[in-house]
Amino acid sequence: MRNGYEYGGETIPGLSEIADTLYGIAEAVNLTGTVTQNLTGQLNGLAQALYLISDSANQTKMELAPTLNQLKTEKASLEDVLLTFNSKTVVPFNLEIQPQSAEPQPLEILEENIAIEQLDANLWAVTAINASNLADHSQIAYCLSIQIKNGTANLEPKAEVYVNGEWQPAEKTLLGLQYDRHGGILYLSPWKKLNVSSSANLLVDWAGRPVRLTVTSQAKPDVEIKEVDYAELYENVEITATEGQTECSIIQPHIVIKNVTAPKPPPPPPQPEKTLMEILMEYMQKPEVWLLLLLAVVLAAVLFKAAKKAKKKRQAKLWREKTVETEKADVEELLKEIEAIERALSS
């Protein structure tokens, strides 16, 4: 039926109404597809912009890498300069005044004041070098040179510093120690002040922390004190500073930023031809296709339900008509039997 018809007290939609409904659904699906295409285009544009930004950032990073490495090197050099300025090794001596008749008393370091411990079977450690001040005034030891031997062979020691309750290995240069491999002599800068008639351990680093020297030897090594450099510190001497000036010039590094023009990205590779199965799978992934399928299933279910209901009503009507005819035949047959009985009785 084109425009629908009444059946069993209900209206079944016709082809025209179904066509109008499908046309409205198609327009809605078409609008959804247009919105999806616009959104896809915008996402593609955003992806292209992000690709350009990433490529530009990588290009900038590659061009600035040498400059950053140079700045790191200059920073390390400046830190070394600052460490040197703050170190005690560049502090000038206090003004030293001695009477003409005074004879300096050198610091005394006896052999029994050198402590050597055995840590392992072939591992020895020099833990202390104690110096005594025999003068009647204070003295300061600012340099100490020693030589560690096993017989006639020089032994190069390793340095450990006492930090947080334990011995930790460290580079000798970081502790203010220098080793002359040619002569086998180790130089220390203890900067240790010794008061009158006092003793102190000169085996310390530039920060005053205890240091021990470890060597590998089958026998107990010998420690020879080569030289002790010290200065006299007289009491009750008033020192007045004179005018002086020191100029230091440190070049400040500058960062140069260069404008970088990002090159055009390479074109995307051509896509291979799609097979029929790939095309079908691609269409099946679109939401509008699934919407059409869903609407088709719903429409088929509605039509099937309406047809089934109409069929039931038609069968019920036919059954009622058949029942009426059967009842009429039974009544007529019953009347005939009654008439036959009446005739038999009257005769």
- The pTM of the full predicted model, rounded to 2 decimals, is 0.42
Q: What is the dihedral of CA 296, 299, 304, 305, to 10 degrees?
A: 140
111-233 CATH, one of 3.30.1490, 3.30.70, 2.60.40, 1.20.1740 = 2.60.40
* Distance in angstroms (rounded) separating the CA atoms of residues 282 and 88: 78
Count how many Cα atoms sit within 13 Å of the Cα of residue 301 in the half-sphere of its side chain.
6
Lowest mean pLDDT among 48-62, 174-188, 243-257: 243-257
CA separation for the pair 26, 32 (Å, rounded): 10
Task: Say which DSSP state 204 is in.
Answer: B
- Between residues 207 and 255, which one has the greater pLDDT? 207
Q: What is the pLDDT of residue 343?
A: 79
Contact 25, 292 (CB under 8 A): yes
Domain residue extents for the chain: 1-86, 111-233
Least confident of 30-44, 83-97, 212-226, 300-314: 83-97
Most confident stretch, 66-70, 72-76, 183-187:
183-187
pLDDT at 10 over 60: no
Share of residues in the chain with pLDDT > 70 (%)? 71
Can you read off the two tokens belonging to residue 226? 């080569």
- Residue 50: what are its φ and ψ, rounded to 5°? -65, -35
Average pLDDT of span 319-330: 76
Confidence of residue 3 (pLDDT cuts 50, 70, 90): very low
Please state, in angstroms and rounded to a whole number, the distance separating the CA atoms of residues 251 and 78.
9
User: How many beta carbons lie within 10 A of that of residue 304, not counting itself?
Assistant: 10
User: For residues 151 and 128, what is the distance between their CA atoms, to the nearest angstrom?
Assistant: 21
Which pLDDT does position 167 carry in this prediction? 93
- pLDDT above 80 for 169: yes
What letters, b where the CB count within 10 A reaches 16 and e where it falls short, cover 236-271?
eeeeeeeeeeeeeeeeeeeeeeeeeeeeeeeeeeee
DSSP 286-318: SHHHHHHHHHHHHHHHHHHHHHHHHHHHHHHHH
Query: Taking Cα atoms as reference points, which of 122, 131, 172 lies closest to residue 150?
Result: 122
Q: How confident is the model at residue 22 (pLDDT cuts 50, 70, 90)?
A: low
pLDDT tens per residue across span 239-293: 555 555 455 445 545 454 555 565 666 677 777 777 777 777 777 777 777 777 7
CA distances from 293 to 165, 286, 290 (A): 79, 11, 5
Least-confidence region, from 66-80, 153-167, 250-264 = 250-264
